[in-house]
Amino acid sequence: MGKIDDEKVINGEGYQLTTLDKAIGLARANSVWPLPFATSCCGIEFMATMGSAYDMSRFGMERLSFSPRQADLLIVAGTISKKLGPVLKQVYEQMAEPKWVLSVGACASSGGIFDTYSVLQGIDRIIPVDVYVPGCPPRPEQIIDGVMNIHKLVKKESIRRRYSAEYKDLMKEYKIELKEDNVK
């Protein structure tokens, strides 16, 4: 950000110059609406993170969205069975752009201790993941650290991310259809 400091020329309240990307990124990062997709013990840790002791609302995240339509960040906390996989993918697809995914805990990230026929071996097999939080379950501090990393991504994300070739390729890799009205 640039500031013109020649006081002789500028005499008044002053102004700052920045790029639109950075200004919007800052606004987005400080008002992320998370959708908690919590299935097990990691979900309990997430509840602790939302509680007054750790207080996610410090970061503009107190408004949980239980509808994917209004959510920016999908927080997947807990074991995802293979039968639940298509549901999770549908929730992700229903979220409006721009969207990010935080995978909380060993189970969501890799299947964890459940190396078995019924458990999805990591949600990155069906949806793209931005930040992984390790732990079984992770402490609230770790979840907050994951959210901070999401914030870093959000701040530097281009507002035209969804039009980029990389993003389209990524979605194609996951066989997720980009809607016509989203992509020019």
Minimal distance in Å, beta carbon 120 to another protein?
A: 9
Minimal distance in Å, beta carbon 117 to another protein?
A: 4
155 binds another protein (CB under 8 A): no
Burial letters for 138-172: b for 16+ Cβ neighbours within 10 Å, e otherwise?
A: bebebbbebbeebbeebbebeeeebeeeebeeebe
Minimal distance in Å, beta carbon 124 to another protein?
A: 12
C-alpha separations of 137 from 24, 74, 133, 134 in Å? 33, 18, 9, 8
Identity of the residue, 121 or 142, whose beta carbon is nearer to another protein in the bound complex? 121
Residue appearing with tokens 């949980």: 64
- CA dist 30 and 37 (Å) reads 21
Minimal distance in Å, beta carbon 121 to another protein?
A: 5
Asked if 16 contacts 1 with a C-beta cutoff of 8 angstroms, the reply is yes
Identity of the residue, 116 or 158, whose beta carbon is nearer to another protein in the bound complex? 116
* Closest by CA position to 78, among listed 117, 32, 48, 120: 120
- The number of residues that bind another protein (CB under 8 A) is 11
For residue 128, count other CB atoms closer than 10 A to its CB.
Answer: 16
Residues 80-139 that bind another protein (CB under 8 A): 82-83, 85, 110-111, 115-119, 121
Identity of the residue, 82 or 155, whose beta carbon is nearer to another protein in the bound complex? 82
Identity of the residue, 49 or 110, whose beta carbon is nearer to another protein in the bound complex? 110
Identity of the residue, 54 or 114, whose beta carbon is nearer to another protein in the bound complex? 114
* 75 beta partners: 36, 102
Minimal distance in Å, beta carbon 83 to another protein?
A: 4
Residues that bind another protein (CB under 8 A): 82-83, 85, 110-111, 115-119, 121
